[in-house]
Amino acid sequence: QVQLVESGGGLVQPGGSLRLSCAASGSIFSIYAMYWYRQAPGKQRELVAATTSGGSSTNYADSVKGRFTISRDNAKNTVYLQMNSLKPEDTAVYYCKFITVDSDYAPYDYWGQGTQVTVSS
């Protein structure tokens, strides 16, 4: 089993910054990709950013391009989301997701517990 633990959420004023972290532990053979999603009240969960473990590819939702940066530390099995120039519409619960593969390259999805980000003056 793999456990994901998120941290770094909180209350920030518009224009401010936060850095989210998501660390994986447990039985990990290999991590294929890492993602950040968010879900605002009354809305569907949406993909915010994604990266492969090798770092060869990153993708962002249009709404966060130029403001958010996804990065990872493979040695620590950790993915980060640096969020700058935050707006009230960024308010949501943020979730990380890892896709891991086993020795047979079978994929598995794991989700973090979520961390609240509130952007308000």
Both ends of the chain: CA-CA distance in Å? Answer: 40
Is it the case that residue 99 has pLDDT exceeding 90? yes
Bridge partner list, 20: 81
Is it the case that residue 86 has pLDDT exceeding 80? yes
The pLDDT assigned to 31 comes to 86
Other beta carbons within 10 angstroms of residue 31's beta carbon come to 20
Least confident of 1-5, 33-37, 53-57, 90-94: 53-57
Pair type for strands 92-101 and 115-119: antiparallel
For residue range 26-64, what is the model confidence (pLDDT) as tens digits?
888 888 899 999 999 999 999 999 998 776 789 999 999
Q: What average pLDDT does this structure show over 62-78?
A: 95
Mapped onto helix, strand or coil, the DSSP state of residue 75 is: helix
